[in-house]
Structure 1
Amino acid sequence: MANFKDLYVRRYNTEALYFFLELPLQSAIIIAYNRRNEGRNMKNKRIFKDFQSSQMSLNIYTSPLLAFVFVFIGEFVAYTLYGISLLALIGLARNFGEAGQNLATYLQTLQQSLTDKTSDFRLILALLSFGFILNTVFRWTKKVEKRSIRTLGFYRENFLSSLLKGFGLGLALFLLTLLGLVALGQYRLESIRLNPYSFTFVVFTIPFWILQGTAEEVVSRAWLLPQLASRTNLKLAVVISSIFFTLLHVGNSGLTPLSLVNLFLFGVAMALYLLKTDTVWGVAGIHGAWNFAQGNLFGILVSGQPSGTSLMTFLPQGNQDWLSGGSFGIEGSIMTSLVLLLLIVYLAYQLEKENERM
């Protein structure tokens, strides 16, 4: 029977993508975890110790399923509330004469814009929905697991510096990736918008992107990773949580095998950064900054999704989707793979040095 590599190469007619699947698992992560005592040392991290206060520990099958439920419930509650609220406000406004009718018309316009993927209003509500996902995880953690939200990595010590450092790193990583693609002729600057509305809106989106990044990192890493690590070795926990993160995006437009690989690599990188910093603030900053820069700073598709108004617009060139990322955006590019692999190897090396000191 053909092994996974044979099947994968036969399906996509290239060994390159398999290489990028295999490398982070069999080299970068193993650098940090291949010694017998290193997994135990990593499990001495505060985020794992604090998980021990949980009154419910799920197995490696049910914990990812519950994480999907968190996302579904959060989004369902958010969009149900949005719809009911807009309908109620429209109905109420119509009872207040001409001014009320004008307001109702405006609200109807906003309601219709929810189906427009380029709408700024739709973007803000979409990002705000991640707050409902975060609230779902918080309620489960407090009511069912009987532990504080702080144990999810929300430690007060140096939280602002950790968040800002992560945000700066996220901007730098994306800028490095974009500059590489511009240098290779795969992206070009199409337009610049420095008008008051564009600047104000772009700055306004920053906390919402941080909220989005925080929610995904809490579900995929800060909550799920300790759950998995309590039932299996840490390397497998990192792999499963990264696969979960990848699966969250399978419904996005423009998805390719390489973009799936990059989503997985991003998950591995964030897991290692979480282990390195032992707090959720840093990964929340990186995740939020990467998406913010991609969408509202440089006007590039975020995991295949448009993000409304941006200060600049960069467009892909040519027909080499494996290099430019195609309709999935930069996250589908081989350049992103290289940047993420470098980050993974660096973090793995740092964790190995840390283990040697333990």
Structure 2
Amino acid sequence: MNIFYNFEEQRLRAGWRLLLQFLLMIFLLYAGQMLISYGTDQPGFLLGRLPGAFAFVLSTWIAVRFLDNRPFAALGLAFDKRWWSELGVGIGMGALAMGCIFVLQLLMGWLTFSGFGWERAWSVAYPLPLLGYLAGMLLVGFYEELMFRGYQITNMIEGFSYSQKSYTTAVFLAIAVSSILFGIMHAGNPNASAVSTVNIILAGIVLALPYLFTGSLALSCGIHAAWNFFQGGIFGFPVSGSPSRSSLLQVNETGPDLFTGGRFGPEAGLLGLIGLCLIVLMTYQYIRAEGYTLGLHDNFK
């Protein structure tokens, strides 16, 4: 057996494809950040997300086209009517989960209001910073799901199912490894901790489920983008360690970090885990209601 190349499939083996895509992504991310730094030393939120979008999407497209030898749409990107409908459903799920976290903090008396986003000093009319934040979070939700769920899980299932491993074991390994990488990529964020990293690994598992059940990234992208936007853009919580200056509601958290996540945000607290559990329940209900099989989609078999 050739450990580098699969002559039957006429392509590199999955592990090498994943490694090359990841290295290309790092190179493009560095190049994009350098280009942005030449233009400004203080990019806004949306501009600051563009290097990531450029690196994640381009490296994945190149890998899919020239290493995987499959169409880009095979990563759950049909972009048909159902795809856009499921994107909207995912946005609703993420918004509802984060809204429940906000309401729980209100009921516990852990939030105090300090004002509204438009009351802060801005160089442009207030809705524009909020809209820029929304656009940035839509980008993050798309390109992170494209790479961590779409590209990595698809290829890891193929790689781990090789040899004597059962297909079920391969799926579990793909979910676990991609989610661990997802957590590690956020471990360097401001105010990160061991707890926040573990919780983000769990979030990776939760975001993998809709992709595996439906064969589409639409639900995962919508959940991810809405979770981030409502967390930081509407309710004023930190998002993965970064505060949001442009949030609609300006709040101060006074509850215990064990529950609220402290300066990292709900993703590092028990309330974040409650939100993830709600997303799992909503995903389960959607899968049943829409007639999907509660199991691995045919795209992965």
Return the TM-score normalized by structure 1. 0.68
1:127 corresponds, among 37, 41, 49, to 49
1:354 paired to 2:277: no
Contact 1:67–1:224, Cα closer than 8 Å, also in 2: no
Query: For 1:287 and 1:296, how far apart are their aligned partners in 2?
Result: 13
Whole-Å separation in 2 of the counterparts to 1:127 and 1:307: 14
**CA contact under 8 A between 2:141 and 2:224: conserved in structure 1?**
yes
Alpha carbon RMSD of aligned pairs, Å? 2.8
Residues 56-98 of structure 1: CA deviation (Å, up to 9, x unaligned): 4313xx56644542442232121122234x2xxxxxxxxxxxx
Q: How far apart, CA to CA, are the structure 2 residues paired with 1:202 and 1:283?
A: 22
Please show how residues 160-199 of structure 1 align to structure 2 within 5 Å: 160-194=84-118, 197-199=125-127
Query: Bigger CA drift: 245-254 or 336-345?
Result: 336-345
Residue 220 of structure 1 is matched in structure 2 by: 148
Q: CA deviation at 1:348?
A: 6.2
Q: How many angstroms does 1:312 deviate by?
A: 1.3
Say whether residues 1:231 and 2:159 are aligned partners: yes
Distance across 1 between alignment mates of 2:280 and 2:94: 14
Write the letter of the residue equivalent to 2:274.
L
Kindly report which structure 2 residues correspond to 1:254-293, keeping only aligned pairs within 5 A, or say none: 254-293=191-230
In 2: Cα distance, 1:226 partner to 1:276 partner: 13
Question: Per-residue displacement from partner, 1:175-226 (whole Å, max 9, x unpaired)?
Answer: 1122112222233322113468222321233232111111111111000001
**Is residue 2:63 matched to residue 1:140?**
yes
Offset from partner CA, 1:278-308 (integer Å, 9 cap, x none): 2112211111111111222222211001334
Give 1:317 deviation, angstroms.
0.3
Q: Which of 266, 278, 286 is 1:330 aligned to?
A: 266
Segments of 5+ residues of structure 2 without an aligned counterpart are 1-7, 161-169
- The 8 Å contact of residues 186 and 323 in structure 1, kept in 2 or not, is answered as no
In structure 2, what is the equivalent of residue 75 of structure 1?
Answer: 29
Partners of 1:341 and 1:67 lie apart in 2 by 32
| Letter aligned with residue 109 of structure 2 | G
Contact 2:179 2:204 in 1 (8 A): yes
1:55 aligns with 2:11: yes
Deviation at 1:347, TM superposition (A): 4.4
Separation (CA, whole Å) in 2 of partners of 1:288 and 1:83: 26
Measure the CA separation in 2 of the matches of 1:68 and 1:317.
Answer: 40
Count residues in correspondence. 272
Runs of 4+ more than 6 Å apart = none
Aligned residues: percent identity?
A: 24
CA distance in structure 1 between the partners assigned to 2:242 and 2:22 by the alignment: 20
Q: Please show how residues 84-99 of structure 1 align to structure 2 within 5 Å.
A: 84=38, 86=39
What is the CA-CA distance between 1:331 and the residue it aligns to?
Answer: 1.1
Contact 1:166-1:282 within 8 A present in 2 as well: yes
Question: Any gaps of 5 or more consecutive residues in structure 1?
Answer: 1-51, 87-110, 115-120
8 Å Cα contact 1:54-1:145 kept in structure 2: no
Preserved contact between residue 63 and residue 228 of structure 1 (Cα < 8 Å) = no
Pair member with larger Rg:
1
